[in-house]
Amino acid sequence: MISSSARSSALIASGVPGLDEVLGGGLRAGHIYFVEGAPGTGKTTLALQFALEGVRRGEATLVISMAECADELCTSAASHGWDLSGLALRDLAAPDAVRSTALFELSEVELDERVDAVLAEMDALRPARLVLDTLGALRDFCTQPWQFRRRLEQFRDKAQALGTTMLFTDDLTGGEQLRPRSLAWGLIQLEQRIGDYGPPRRRLWLPKLRGQPYSGGCHDMRIATGGVQVFPRLETPAPTEPAAGGQVQSGVAELDTLLGGGLERGTSLGILGPPGCGKSTLVCLFALAAVARGERAALYLFDEAEETLKLRSKSQQLDIEAALASGLLELRQIDPAELAPGELAQELRTEVLERGTRIIAIDSLNGYLQAMPDERFMSLHVHHLLSWLGRHRVLTLVTLALPSPLSQKAGLDLDLSYITDAVIAQRYFEAYGSMRYAMSVIKKRYGDHERTIREFRIGPKGIIVGEPLSEFRGVLSGVPEYVGARQPLL
């Protein structure tokens, strides 16, 4: 038999992908946990995953249903592809599930008999895991707060005596006096936000967890066929200098010269400019140069379809198809209406830690930030994400579309000079009766860079970067003035 001290130090798996990382390793054996949330937030689904994990591990597992009948619970489980036949399932939802007598107050008798029925089942089965769904149904039989608390104390004492880990779902009905949260070892709270467009956004957080370090704050989650999945928030990285490893080149000599030889690993580059001036093309150049060196790169597209990028790259003689065929380039089209920020962060983490990706591009931040539920924190979120990637020696490229010169609309209130380590600015300018393009490095945190403005052109032979526009002034304003003696443009 396992001693009480050994049980108190043991952590067991929750069975919910991502949740154990938030919990700091799992749930502590022999204690009570409350899973709280409004109806529809996924409490029962999460609790069943916990129970089925016990079955998978060969543990005796008891599920007490007080809100749904057994058939309803099995139907819900079947929608996720689960078979509950390995569980000890006790249905106390029906009015005649326990025997009552009219000699006493009906609600008091029903509460006592239901609690006694659960305790008797625990003594008979001695389960390692127990799910009670839901405390709200049990609370309906209670007339006094002390009465409800006393009965929960019996569950707590029994859990500690048998070493049973108990998960109680709670829909937060009733007043605070009927929610004795102090008896719980930990609280797992589920939330659901309904926006004006798109699917609901779900998240999870831990108001309380005793005896172990855990990841605080809110974590995005999703409910799909197969159950709940949690996407742990990236932990704040410690400040670090870029790791050694040399510079990363784009493959275009003039562009690398403009960048002072290239970009340091573990840093980030922001590329900003109006639509159509080649931001995505610059991203592709760095990605293809990485593939040519035998490194893995990943491009996350928020603004255009994969096929559009492939066709445009082909017209520019950028061989995206060959890079994809090599397995070193990952192309991922993202729908910002469907993807929560935490879900994307988890994908990026998998790319870096499991697949060894060395360059990640987000094209563009305008599309990515549409997935942000609260724009007040978008700069902090993106800065945090780039800092985490930098700590793992990843070169991160992000693009930001500025308003078109033909538009009077304001752009995003986002400062790339704060978020990224280096910034390339691209601009249209008019000269000799045609629209032309110029770029300049306006910031590079690590290392020196060229402070000139260079014209560039994107055509059927790829990208061409010209000499510095030393005989113009006012190029970045879009209306330059030629002060030289000859025609210096491409």
Q: What is the pLDDT of residues 247-266, one digit of tens each?
A: 899 989 999 999 999 999 99
Token look-up 């860079």 returns 449
- Ranked by mean pLDDT, the top range of 3-7, 167-171, 240-244, 362-366 is 167-171
For the chain, give the mean pLDDT.
84
36 and 150 fall within a common domain: yes
- Give pLDDT, residue 469: 82
CA angle centred on 335, ends 330 and 336, rounded to 5°: 115
Instruction: Clarify whether residues 265 and 132 are in a common domain.
Output: no
266 and 389 fall within a common domain: yes
**31 Cβ contact partners less than 8 Å away, ≥ 6 residues apart:** 156, 159, 160, 165, 166, 185, 186, 210
Token pair of 479 as six digits: 């209306």
- Residue 188 is assigned to a structural domain of this protein: yes
Please compute the mean of the pLDDT values over residues 390-414 and round it to a whole number.
75
Enclosing domain of residue 454: 247-482
Phi, psi (5° rounding) for residue 431? -155, 135
**pLDDT range class, residue 372, cuts 50, 70, 90:** low
pLDDT at 18 over 60: yes
460, part of any domain: yes
The verdict on 281 and 215 lying in the same domain is no
Residue 156 lies in a domain: yes
Domain of 358: which CATH number?
3.40.50.300
Shared domain for 215 and 255, answered yes or no, is: no
Q: Is residue 175 helix, strand or coil?
A: coil
- Does residue 225 lie within any of the structural domains? yes
Nearest Cα to Cα of residue 283 among 274, 294, 272, 293:
272
Q: How confident is the model at residue 102, as a pLDDT?
A: 35
What single DSSP character describes residue 489? Answer: -
Look at residue 123 in the predicted model and tell me its pLDDT: 94
Residues 274 and 154 grouped into a single domain? no
Structural contact between residues 183 and 152, judged by C-beta atoms closer than 8 angstroms: yes
Domain identity same for 168 and 263: no
Residue where a domain stops, chosen among 180, 202, 231: 231
Residue 349 and residue 405 in one domain? yes
Residue 490 counted as domain residue: no
Question: What residue type is assigned to position 178 of the chain?
Answer: L
pLDDT at residue 104, as a whole number: 35
More confident residue, 68 or 22: 22
Calculate mean pLDDT across residues 223-241: 82
pLDDT digits (tens, 9 = 90+) for 308-319: 999 989 888 899
* 407 in a structural domain: yes
Mean pLDDT, to the nearest integer, of 192-214? 88
In this predicted structure, the answer to whether residue 208 has a pLDDT above a threshold of 90 is yes
State residue 473's pLDDT score.
74
Residues 84 and 35 in one domain: yes
Arithmetic mean of pLDDT, 312-328: 92
Domain boundary among 231, 262, 278: 231
Length of the chain equals 490
User: Is there a single domain that holds both residue 287 and residue 224?
Assistant: no
Q: Select from 197, 231, 265 the last residue of a domain.
A: 231
Total domain count, the chain: 2
Q: Are residues 200 and 68 in the same domain?
A: yes
Pair of tokens at residue 451? 């402070």
pLDDT by residue (tens digit) across 63-91?
Answer: 999 888 888 899 999 999 999 999 999 98
Q: What is the mean pLDDT of residues 430-451?
A: 86
Mean pLDDT of 362-382: 74
**Domain shared by 256 and 219, yes or no:** no
Residue 124 belongs to a domain: yes
| The pLDDT value given to residue 175 | 64
Q: Is there a domain that residue 242 lies in? A: no
Instruction: Using pLDDT thresholds of 50, 70 and 90, give the confidence band for residue 412.
Output: low
* pLDDT for res 490: 58
What local confidence, expressed as pLDDT, does residue 108 receive?
Answer: 53
Task: Give the pLDDT of residue 266.
Answer: 92
